[in-house]
Structure 1
């Protein structure tokens, strides 16, 4: 590869975009992150402004190239992952409407329409997934057809965040097969569009972008994109991948039976298989590599729960955090550590924007339960951390009914930065948890996929396993696990009791 000895991973997240540069040993040598808001123009609506993704990438890369001493000539290839959203664009790739995010719940009526007019079994046969809003694009696409036919008519393509950014970088319109599998408009086995489903939905076939494998190179960075980002013109860009798949690969889960847990804005518990799972409570995704399928339990409100708590109640301790020289997230962890295991009996249902796995209920909402006179700030914070862990145990129970119990679960994402949260996960799941040395598993997965695309031998597809072995392992503490077993039963009963009230 000559002097091209670095790889760039870009992850477009729900709440921010990260760009990280790695060497061929997997060391992160430069990184930049930029946060942006989720937009809520109406109740139950969640949108994002795609231009903010592109601006975040530009600013991050300028920071890396201008302030962190990285030479653009050294970047061998760019790998990209992204959150779930749909965006309608014109021939120049300019958005004609805000991106509709996975947290958006507007398309309940369209879910009913799709079930009645196309049929869940028809979709399930090809996509191996249910019809639901949130994770799947089809209901939101149908919403656009019904409510904004003017936008649909003017559009050139419908893209996902990966595809939008790749178009900005290369000028090419594309979609990767992993993200395709969550549109409900493709066949998970063949990787081709199911044109009959698309036609029945009312979407013009001309709006469908060209499918690619994640390890395909879509194109090179254009001169215009090079001027805006600092990348070298012609730098190859891969077709991208779902952030969940990137994180799973970054955590070292690539072989059949491997598990990975990622707690970022959303939570994803993944198990690798050679065939799609048949259990309808699981999402099925085509992997980044041929013949690889990933069964996913995806929760919307993992890291989002802690961010919501920080934004709404963080002001109460902001001065104390500043005086201690700590950022708010770090200080919230310090507070949570002061509370008893089980948060003194306080339970948090983390369903702030409805929930996907395993309850599949867009009407569910967040609840603090069992607040008493002895409940203090620390109890609330700990309850949030524990509630997210309970939601993952709920997911794990489904996965374990379809697979063998893992010996250890690698944990990546922002939660891996918190030893307290890692221990809570180990205790609640009652399985050892390994916090990854490189817990930024999305961008690591991006560069592992990108390395396969251009044949960088130093980085094999199971490269994440090598890095996962050096992580810190948290073993379940028996007394804690016993407390959480009782709390988890209450957590399950609490949702069951409240379900009719949401």
Structure 2
């Protein structure tokens, strides 16, 4: 009889619940998706209702069991892959004391400045605190979006809420708590707090860093490994999930940890690129490396002794969603001719995305000189600026929607190239790069990425499910079905390859140089337009 596990891929805009068969391969049997709201506020806030995640998890679990026909008793375990660096503050009963603060939240400017961006500085960070943090965790909380500043924002602005805090959890840790009643945090989530002591023999939350930042160390939960069985589904949770009471629950990991595993990029020197709502370039390293000036650090992953040298782009696929809503579709309801691309509402987005790729496939490399910057919600790496924004540059009378949509694809890939080049200052990246996420579903995007990077690109089966595959692997290792995380390279094979067109690359090389100059040339303008405190500052300043 086949063995089955359920993996939950908890994203920014929705959860995908997947049933996998574990035999001589990891086979997707059934999946269900349900969305939830992201509340984006004028003051830079970005929040979600934790119970929306839980309700969507329960409903989609029931749907995949019904669709697959697999009895609940045949599910041997569950695991998670989720968005990271959220702040979920709960009371002793595991109930949220406020809405969760998303990794996209940008409110903590004051807390960041007071906490680390004052005094004698290097790369905008207080020298003493920089050195102290680097010595303990080999990274530094220098971004406005780092969870510690969200925590401090709550302390400063919502003291009555702060008094109710029992534990500080991340997204999947909240769902694990709902399933089991356990308050835990996997090692990769703990590292993402940037309070985690990675020194040999430590592997714990640093009380020294907590004192330095003014964090109550008692708010941090027990730390576990991603392959650990962290508890079993309680009777109450089993009723809501339609699973059996006592089903093992495994720690799983964050998306930055598990998508690389699901891509099969697990050996030191292996590089993968992800394009989903966000995007990144990640290379496996056998030691911790940090580049504070470029906002890159080797983060703790799910594989013991290995680290992911990680460069993040806040909005990748989110830019294509913006294009769909505001450029491809006509939001003011003016049409020369209406065409129904799909009669199925459920498949509308996928069909429109595919249609956009079809419509722009013959636009030449370089989009006839049009360049797009994918900083629709600020940027983190290789420069940190919450005020940075997207733009179309070099539009002419001859420019049409097809060039602009094509330029969005290229702009995302130009930024990924920038991150790859910055990574190579510290580590050696792989010649062949695994590309996963929803962006890897489109052959056009894969070829553009290959042309811009000048590298061979490989994709895998169902690249949009790489995170769920990684979570399934965590459960399989925990259950003893698979020996170790490194075996992922044997289970995850490439299904397509793309070689660079060097003639196209020469065109991209020209545009890429302009692309990199656009932030520097517009930095003051971004600040004037988007920083409330700078609204009275003239450009000449």
| Structure with max Cα Rg | 2
Name the SS of the counterpart of 1:249 in structure 2.
helix
Match of 1:16 in 2: 14
Correspondence for 1:225 among 237, 243, 264: 237
Match of 2:501 in 1: 477
- Find out whether 1:102 has 2:103 as its counterpart: yes
Between the aligned partners of 2:76 and 2:338, the Cα distance in structure 1 is: 45
CA contact (8 A) 1:215 1:289 kept: no
CA offsets per residue over residues 191-216 of structure 1, 9 Å max, x none?
20111322343333321111111111
- Find out whether 1:206 has 2:218 as its counterpart: yes
User: Alpha-carbon deviation of 1:311?
Assistant: 2.5
CA contact (8 A) 1:108 1:133 kept: no
Structure 1 segments unaligned to the other structure (5+ residues): none
- Find out whether 1:129 has 2:139 as its counterpart: yes
1:481-496 mapped onto 2 (5 Å cutoff): 481-496=505-520
Question: Structure 1 pair 321/462, CA: closer, same or farther in 2 (3 Å)?
Answer: farther
Name the SS of the counterpart of 2:168 in structure 1.
strand
Name the SS of the counterpart of 1:341 in structure 2.
coil
- Find out whether 1:169 has 2:217 as its counterpart: no
1:444-463 mapped onto 2 (5 Å cutoff): 444-457=469-482, 460-463=484-487
Match of 1:374 in 2: 398
- The range that moved more, 373-382 or 112-121, is 112-121
CA contact (8 A) 1:213 1:288 kept: yes
Match of 2:534 in 1: none
CA offsets per residue over residues 334-381 of structure 1, 9 Å max, x none?
222142221111111111111111112222111111111111111111
CA offsets per residue over residues 197-247 of structure 1, 9 Å max, x none?
223433333211111111111101111111111121111111221111100
Between the aligned partners of 1:36 and 1:44, the Cα distance in structure 2 is: 19
User: Alpha-carbon deviation of 1:135?
Assistant: 5.1
Match of 2:539 in 1: none
TM-score, structure 1 normalization: 0.95
- The range that moved more, 353-362 or 385-394, is 353-362
Question: Structure 1 pair 392/187, CA: closer, same or farther in 2 (3 Å)?
Answer: same
Between the aligned partners of 2:520 and 2:274, the Cα distance in structure 1 is: 26
Match of 2:5 in 1: 7
- Find out whether 1:42 has 2:42 as its counterpart: yes
Name the SS of the counterpart of 1:435 in structure 2.
strand
CA contact (8 A) 1:44 1:353 kept: no
User: Alpha-carbon deviation of 1:286?
Assistant: 1.0
Match of 1:138 in 2: 148
Match of 1:83 in 2: 83
Match of 1:322 in 2: 341
Name the SS of the counterpart of 2:192 in structure 1.
coil
Name the SS of the counterpart of 1:102 in structure 2.
coil
Correspondence for 2:451 among 397, 410, 427: 427
User: Alpha-carbon deviation of 1:299?
Assistant: 0.9
User: Alpha-carbon deviation of 1:421?
Assistant: 0.7
CA offsets per residue over residues 146-197 of structure 1, 9 Å max, x none?
1111111112111100110100111111111111111111112332011132
- The range that moved more, 12-21 or 63-72, is 63-72
- Find out whether 1:215 has 2:213 as its counterpart: no
Structure 2 segments unaligned to the other structure (5+ residues): 119-125, 527-541
Question: Structure 1 pair 65/427, CA: closer, same or farther in 2 (3 Å)?
Answer: same
User: Alpha-carbon deviation of 1:39?
Assistant: 0.7
TM-score, structure 2 normalization: 0.88
Between the aligned partners of 2:513 and 2:419, the Cα distance in structure 1 is: 14
Question: Structure 1 pair 260/377, CA: closer, same or farther in 2 (3 Å)?
Answer: same
1:177-256 mapped onto 2 (5 Å cutoff): 177-189=187-199, 190-256=202-268
Name the SS of the counterpart of 1:119 in structure 2.
helix
Name the SS of the counterpart of 2:353 in structure 1.
helix
Between the aligned partners of 1:157 and 1:150, the Cα distance in structure 2 is: 15
CA contact (8 A) 2:417 2:452 kept: yes
User: Alpha-carbon deviation of 1:68?
Assistant: 2.9
- Find out whether 1:310 has 2:324 as its counterpart: yes
1:261-410 mapped onto 2 (5 Å cutoff): 261-280=273-292, 281=294, 282-316=296-330, 319-322=338-341, 327-410=351-434
Between the aligned partners of 1:136 and 1:470, the Cα distance in structure 2 is: 34
Between the aligned partners of 1:251 and 1:77, the Cα distance in structure 2 is: 22
Between the aligned partners of 1:470 and 1:203, the Cα distance in structure 2 is: 44
CA offsets per residue over residues 71-100 of structure 1, 9 Å max, x none?
222212212121121111112222111111
Match of 1:29 in 2: 29
Between the aligned partners of 1:11 and 1:478, the Cα distance in structure 2 is: 37
User: Alpha-carbon deviation of 1:111?
Assistant: 1.2
CA offsets per residue over residues 260-284 of structure 1, 9 Å max, x none?
1111111121111111013223122
Between the aligned partners of 1:40 and 1:486, the Cα distance in structure 2 is: 36
CA contact (8 A) 1:105 1:133 kept: no
1:152-167 mapped onto 2 (5 Å cutoff): 152-167=162-177
User: Alpha-carbon deviation of 1:460?
Assistant: 4.6
